[in-house]
Structure 1
Amino acid sequence: MSRILYSLRGADGTAPFSPHCWKVVLALRHKGLDFEEKPVGFTEIPKLENGFSKIVPILRDGDRLISDSFAIAIYLEQAYPDRPSLFSGKGGMAMARFVEAWALSTLHPAVTRIAVKHIHDMLSPVDQAYFRESREARLGATLEEVVTGREAEIAAFPEKCTPIRNMLKFQPFIGGNEPLFADYIVFCAFQWAALTGNTGLLDPNDPVAHWFERCLEFVEKG
């Protein structure tokens, strides 16, 4: 059975940077499933799989097509129950839903405001035009105007990580002793920042920075 993951790329085709695509990469690795990753530009997405989805990630698993990172994770959990669990039960899935809602409402807007101009500059000209129009409409400001608040966003970022920092007083991962999909949701927000050239958002001694390194070791080991 062939398994293809369509993800997002910049102009040079390297370092796919989408946090949602990264979540699926880590979910597939967690499950120990082989796959081929095919990164595409923003404007190429509507052409994929006969217009199956307006967004990536898209996973083709044999004759099945699934889009949306959380939907893909649920599919993998149900299709491969004999592989390591991404949720460790219904409670873990409910926890991951909450973590995703928090990440999307708190971390993602912050990283967007920090990284948006960097992301634009990574893209091909045709994707830059699409990205600028769509993001400026979403943000209600030009990319250059957003950049003027970047340093303030960076300064405020550690405070946004307080819930994770408090949780780490009791366990090494959100999932407990080992990472689950809930960890990957948050990890990929940080990975998104790093892969778009925005490192050093946390003090190296911050417990959240140590958690990120543990996740990175787990991912690389897998």
Structure 2
Amino acid sequence: MTRLLYGLCGEDRARRFSPHVWKVEMALAHKGLDCRVVPLGFTDIPKVEGGATKMVPYLIDGDQAVVDSFAIAQYLDATYPDRPTLFAGEGGRATARFVEAFSQTVLHPAITRMILLDIHDRLGPEDRAYFRKSREAAFGKSLEDVAAAAPAERAAFADKLNPLRYLLKKQPFIGGETPLFADYIVFGALQWARIVSPQPLLEPDDAVSGWFERCLDLHDGLGRAIPSAGTAEAA
């Protein structure tokens, strides 16, 4: 059986960057499940499986199709209970919901404002046109105007991670001694920025940076399979 995961990429099909797809890639590796990632541009998504989805990640596992990263993680834990857990029970699931809310309302908006123009610049022509039109409508201003505020946003970003920084003084992962899906939620957000933007978000001596490096090393270095934007541009 070939398990398929549809994910988002730019003009370079090898550099998949969606934070939500990265959550699922890490979750599948955590469960020890093989998967073929199918890269898509923004404008390719409506064509997937005859128009089966309007968003990614979209997982096809045998005769099951699941959309949305959290729903996929729940599906994986329910379907493969004999493999390492992603939630460690209902308490872990509830904690992951809180972490998702923190990521979606605090981290993602800040990161979006910092890397919006970087995302645009990595897309193919058709996707660039779609991205500019849709994001400028959402922000009510040009991508360049949003990007002009990126330095101030970057300067304020470290403080947004204080809750995670405080936690990591007590344990190596959000999940405790070993990672859980809650770790992959925040990892996906930071991996998104790492792959798209050459400007680092974290200082090397930051406790969050140490945690992120540990996450990059997980599952035989799955997160490092795609070099950072800064490394790729220097090569």
User: TM range, normalised to the smaller chain?
Assistant: over 0.9
Aligned residue number for residue 44 of structure 2: 44
Q: Which runs of 5+ in 1 are unaligned?
A: none
Distance 2:100 2:6 in 1: 21
Query: What CA distance in whole angstroms lies between the structure 1 residues aligned with 2:221 and 2:145?
Result: 41
Letter in 2 for 1:192: W
Structure 2: how far apart are the matches of 1:193 and 1:170?
Answer: 26
Once residues 7 and 90 of structure 1 are traced to their aligned partners in structure 2, the CA distance between those partners, rounded to angstroms, is: 28
> Within the alignment, does 1:20 sit opposite 2:34 as a pair?
no
Which residue in the other structure is 1:155 paired with? 155
Q: 2:232 maps to which residue?
A: none
Judge conservation of contact 1:57–1:68 (CA < 8 Å) in 2.
yes
List gaps (5 residues or longer) in structure 2. 223-235
Residue matched to 1:56: 56
Which amino acid in structure 1 is aligned with residue 60 of structure 2?
A: R
Alignment of structure 1 residues 173-192 onto 2, 5 Å: 173-192=173-192
User: Does the residue aligned with 2:66 lie in a helix, a strand or coil?
Assistant: strand
Three-state SS of the structure 2 residue aligned to 1:85 is coil
Report the RMSD for the aligned CA atoms in angstroms: 1.0
1:80-117 CA-partner distances (Å, limit 9, x unpaired)? 00010001111101000000000000000011001000
SS in structure 2 at match of 1:114: helix
1:4 maps to amino acid: L
Letter in 2 for 1:77: D
Calculate percent identity across the aligned residue pairs.
57
Alpha-carbon contact 1:115-1:198 (below 8 Å) kept: no
1:199 CA drift (Å): 4.0
Match of 2:97 in 1: 97
* Amino acid in the other structure paired with 1:85: T
Count of aligned pairs between the two proteins: 222
Distance in structure 2 (CA, Å) of the matches to 1:161 and 1:199: 17
1:66 is aligned to: 66
Alignment partners' CA distance in 1, 2:221 and 2:45: 31
* Superposed counterparts of 1:96-175, under 5 Å: 96-175=96-175
